[in-house]
Structure 1
Amino acid sequence: MTKTDYNQAVKLIKSALSEDIGKGDITSELLIPVKSESNAEVLVKESGIISGIEIFNLVFAVIDKKIKTGFIKKDGASVKKGEVIGYVKGNTRNILKGERVALNLLQRMSGIATQTSELTRKLNNKSIQIIDTRKTTPNMRVFEKMAVVDGGGANHRMGLYDMILIKDNHIEANNNISNLLDVLKKNKSRIKKKVELEVKDFSEFKIVMAKGKGLVDRIMLDNFKVSDVSKAAALNNGVFELEISGGVDYTNIQNYQNINGVRYISIGAITHSVNSLDIALNFIT
């Protein structure tokens, strides 16, 4: 985790804890002695890929630096149903304060990593990377994109600030893709980041091939048929990076397995439509 990611993670964890704890855990304050100490174990209840261990540990470090956590697995590792993979030891009240936030993040991130891993294995083509999108849970992007990497995928841009991605609404605002490329050319001196341009059909693709050299780094083939992806890749012949986007899921990803010349497949569902992995924190003493 970079220093920037760490600082953002701490900020988001504090916000999540504040949301959950509010003015205090009134149940634990009623039933648990102030100095009570407990041991708990992290139990995997569903097989998959673990992600979020570092964040889980950080939640408890933010609450109480005296709480000890430990894991026998690392982020990105396979875990099996019934495995005990970690422990939490310390003040009972403080463990209970952090339990839900820590588990929510661990479960969510592990679900994303698991789905990304399943898609990567199904695709079975190391020359094509599965990448995420900006279709993430608000304020959870840093965590969800970490999970994609733990699952064997890669990150697309983090936000609007680190890559120029020209999509359909930008094109419509400039009337058509040819006009847009003219505007892009006029502003070439202002371009400091990589440029990706979405095309909706083969005719737009050919316009970018003709006018986009030196302006565009990557072309996004949005909702292209497999046959048209093959045609585009052959025509492109390595001039631009190619990204497939739209409608790709576990049921059809193998259709793209043998296409040469495609670098990326972006799948929004790996962050916006994912089931959390079932993981529990059980007190043992």
Structure 2
Amino acid sequence: MHESVERLIQAALAEDIGPGDLTSRYFVPAERRATGFIVARESGVLSGGDVALEVLRQVDTSIEVTLLVEDGSRISSGAYLIKLEGPARSLLTAERTVLNFLQRMSGVASATRQYVDAVKGTNANILDTRKTIPGWRRLDKLAVTHGGGVNHRMGLYDRVMVKDNHLVAEGRVEELQQAIANLKADHPDVEVELEADNLTQVEAFLGMEYVDHILLDNMSLAELRRAVELRGDKASPKLEASGGVNLETVAGIAETGVDFISVGAITHSARALDLALDFVKRE
């Protein structure tokens, strides 16, 4: 468990529990034990099982947890996902935080899988973006992989992405090439991506050195196909389509031959998957 995720879980529990779970303390006997199942109320893709384990561990190490379904699995409504056994007070105290993590992550994974399914049969991969909930990026991106998507950069530090505003500030292509060369001299393993708003820029970028990716921003299908033609049979740079992507348009974009399609909606607008904790009678 990455330390940033552990801190996030600690903050979530502190936010929810505060100085104590008063309802459980006063209305649930301390000696009572319970068995419950986290159940899917709708179909989708599960994500967040390991995070749920960590939440429960931080609440009460005596809770026994059995993961019945692996992360990344398709689930149907009514499916039993996780079995929980332990002190009833502890299960009730952890319930909302566990579900918050599972529902958010499963929602992202489910949304991603819809896009992945839509481009099946093409060579295009679905990419995430940095449009994530602050503090949640690592989990949002993990959920994307559970949905079959591919992670773009984690932050500003692990890939250079020169966008239109950077290009305005930088100026001429010669100056841009020199800046890229300077970067590669200091950080040879960092990939470089340039944003192109038109085919003239695509042609210019294809003639430059050390360019690993070209972002084709808000281009028409005809422009995307032409950009792929301009690159030809070369394996690099990879071409990424962005803008105007939804479930109705993504298949057509994929069929142009681009390598990646970035979809901000799979993280910034993902709907939580409907999951619940159901207690069962103990023998």
**TM-score bracket for the superposition, by shorter chain length:** over 0.9
- 2: CA distance, partners of 1:113 / 1:27: 33
- 2: CA distance, partners of 1:159 / 1:257: 25
- 2: CA distance, partners of 1:46 / 1:189: 51
The question of 1:147 aligning with 2:182 is answered: no
Q: Give the match for residue 4 of structure 2.
A: 8
Q: 1:243 aligns with which of 240, 244, 265?
A: 240
Supply the RMSD in Å over aligned alpha carbons. Answer: 1.6
The question of 1:79 aligning with 2:68 is answered: no
Structure 1 contact 221–242 (Cα < 8 Å) conserved: yes
How far did residue 120 of structure 1 move?
0.8
- 1: CA distance, partners of 2:42 / 2:173: 47
Structure 2 contact 45–110 (Cα < 8 Å) conserved: yes
Q: Give the match for residue 261 of structure 2.
A: 265
Q: Give the match for residue 127 of structure 1.
A: 123
SS in 2 for 1:90: strand
SS in 2 for 1:33: coil
How far did residue 13 of structure 1 move?
0.7
The question of 1:106 aligning with 2:102 is answered: yes
Structure 1 contact 40–281 (Cα < 8 Å) conserved: yes
1:217-232 alignment runs, 5 A limit: 217-232=212-227
The question of 1:49 aligning with 2:41 is answered: no
How far did residue 178 of structure 1 move?
5.3
SS in 2 for 1:18: helix
Structure 2 contact 123–254 (Cα < 8 Å) conserved: no
Q: Structure 1 196/91 Cα, relative in aligned 2: closer, same or farther at 3 Å?
A: same
- 1: CA distance, partners of 2:219 / 2:178: 25
Q: Give the match for residue 133 of structure 2.
A: 137
SS in 2 for 1:59: helix
Q: Give the match for residue 229 of structure 2.
A: 234
The question of 1:156 aligning with 2:152 is answered: yes
Q: 1:201 aligns with which of 198, 203, 206?
A: 198
How far did residue 187 of structure 1 move?
4.6
Structure 1 contact 10–62 (Cα < 8 Å) conserved: no
Q: Give the match for residue 89 of structure 2.
A: 93
- Identity rate of aligned residues, in percent? 36
Structure 1 contact 124–257 (Cα < 8 Å) conserved: no
SS in 2 for 1:130: strand
- 1: CA distance, partners of 2:140 / 2:106: 9
How far did residue 177 of structure 1 move?
5.2
* Equivalent AA in structure 1 for residue 191 of structure 2: K
* Equivalent AA in structure 2 for residue 26 of structure 1: L
SS in 1 for 2:30: coil
Structure 1 contact 178–207 (Cα < 8 Å) conserved: no
* Equivalent AA in structure 1 for residue 217 of structure 2: D
| TM-score (structure 1 length as normaliser) | 0.92
Q: Give the match for residue 187 of structure 2.
A: 191
| TM-score (structure 2 length as normaliser) | 0.93
Give every structure 1 segment of 4 or more consecutive aligned residues whose post-TM-superposition deviation is greater than 3 Å. 175-179, 185-188
- 1: CA distance, partners of 2:176 / 2:197: 14
- 2: CA distance, partners of 1:178 / 1:94: 63
- 1: CA distance, partners of 2:52 / 2:255: 39
How far did residue 176 of structure 1 move?
5.2
Structure 2: unaligned runs, 5 residues or longer? none
